[in-house]
Amino acid sequence: MINPVFLRTFMNLVKTNHFTHTAEELSMTQPGVSQHIKKLEIQLGTTLLNRYGKKFELTTAGESLFQYGLKQFKAESDLLNTIASDDVNIGHCTLACSGSMAMQLYPKLLNLQKERSGLTVSVEAAPNTTIIELIKKNQSDFGIVTQQVNDPSLIQEPLGEDALCLVMPAQSEPTWEVLLELGFINHPDGHHYATQLLEKNFSGEFKGMDQLPQTGYINQLSQILLPVSMGLGFTVIPKSSLDVFPYPDRIRNAVLASLVNERVFLITKKHRALPSRYQLIRELLRSEWH
Amino acid sequence: MINPVFLRTFMNLVKTNHFTHTAEELSMTQPGVSQHIKKLEIQLGTTLLNRYGKKFELTTAGESLFQYGLKQFKAESDLLNTIASDDVNIGHCTLACSGSMAMQLYPKLLNLQKERSGLTVSVEAAPNTTIIELIKKNQSDFGIVTQQVNDPSLIQEPLGEDALCLVMPAQSEPTWEVLLELGFINHPDGHHYATQLLEKNFSGEFKGMDQLPQTGYINQLSQILLPVSMGLGFTVIPKSSLDVFPYPDRIRNAVLASLVNERVFLITKKHRALPSRYQLIRELLRSEWH
DNA sequence: CATTATGATAATTTAATATTATGATAAATC
DNA sequence: GATTTATCATAATATTAAATTATCATAATG
DSSP calls for A78-94? HHHHHHH---TTSEEEE
> A257 — contact with chain B (CB < 8 Å)?
no
Q: So where are chain B's domains?
A: 4-84, 91-155+267-289, 162-262
* pLDDT tens, chain A, 290 aa long: 788 888 988 988 988 888 888 888 888 888 888 888 888 888 888 888 888 877 888 888 888 888 898 888 888 888 888 888 777 788 888 999 887 788 788 888 888 888 887 888 888 888 788 898 888 888 899 999 987 888 878 889 999 998 999 999 999 999 999 999 999 999 888 898 999 999 999 999 999 999 998 888 887 766 788 889 988 999 999 888 888 788 889 999 999 989 999 889 999 988 787 888 899 899 999 998 87
CA dihedral (A102, A105, A108, A110) in degrees, to 10, reads -20
- The nt closest to B21 (CA vs C1′) is D7
Q: Give residue-wise pLDDT tens across range B228-244.
A: 999 899 999 988 888 87
Sorted by sequence, the CB contacts under 8 Å of residue A169 that are 6+ apart come out as A182, A228, A229, A230, A231, A232, A234, A250, A251, A252
Query: CB–CB of B98/B108 below 8 Å?
Result: no
Q: Is 3.40.190.10 the CATH classification of the domain at A91-161+263-289?
A: yes
Fold for the domain defined by B162-262: D-Maltodextrin-Binding Protein; domain 2 (3.40.190)
Q: Do domains B91-155+267-289 and B162-262 have the same CATH topology?
A: yes
Residues 20-49 of B with CB under 7 A from strand D: 20, 30-31, 33-35, 37-38
> B2 — contact with chain A (CB < 8 Å)?
yes
> A1 — contact with chain B (CB < 8 Å)?
yes
Q: Give residue-wise pLDDT tens across range B107-165.
A: 888 888 888 878 888 888 887 888 988 888 888 999 999 878 888 788 899 999 889 99
Q: CATH number of the domain at B91-155+267-289, please?
A: 3.40.190.10
Fold for the domain defined by B4-84: Arc Repressor Mutant, subunit A (1.10.10)
CB A126: neighbour CB atoms within 10 A?
21
Q: CATH number of the domain at A163-261, please?
A: 3.40.190.10
Scanning every residue of chain B, which has its alpha carbon at the shortest distance from the alpha carbon of A73? Answer: B1
**Identity of the residue in B5, B44, B57 whose CB atom sits nearest the CB atom of A1:** B5
Distance from CA of B43 to the nearest CA of A (A): 11
